[in-house]
Amino acid sequence: MKTLFLIRQNKRLIGIVLTVAFLLLIPLIAMQFTDEVNWTLLDFVVAGALLLGTGLMCELVIRKIKKIQHRVAICVTLLAVLFIIWAELAVGILGTPLSGQ
């Protein structure tokens, strides 16, 4: 029974990594067809770190928090923070020095 549990956990981790890789392939492929998408290596590293970090934090929440309502609330908060940081880096919605403008 414990082996099945470990396999399921590892599948989720593999799913997180594959999802991040797939999401990073989208701008990489788009760069081949248009000049509108112009990411540097730093952009890919930052995006990968944000996506992978968020995915792993959600995985940690799923593993450690017992109440489903708390899991959902924390994961939604993590995703909201990810989207705010992403938007700030892309277009500068908050006007910080980190904005993409």
Q: How is the chain split into domains, by residue range?
A: 2-91
The CA-based dihedral angle spanning residues 81, 30, 95, 73, taken in that order and rounded to the nearest 10 degrees: -10
Number of H helices, E strands in the chain: 3, 0
**pLDDT average per 10 residues of sequence, the chain (101 residues):** 65 92 96 93 96 96 95 97 92 75 57
* DSSP annotation string for 55-77: HHHHHHHHHH---HHHHHHHHHH
- How many Å apart are CA 63 and CA 41, to the nearest integer? 32
**How far from the centroid of its chain's Cα atoms is residue 32's Cα?**
23
Q: What is the pLDDT of residues 26-54, one digit of tens each?
A: 999 999 999 999 999 999 999 999 999 99
Averaged pLDDT of the chain: 89
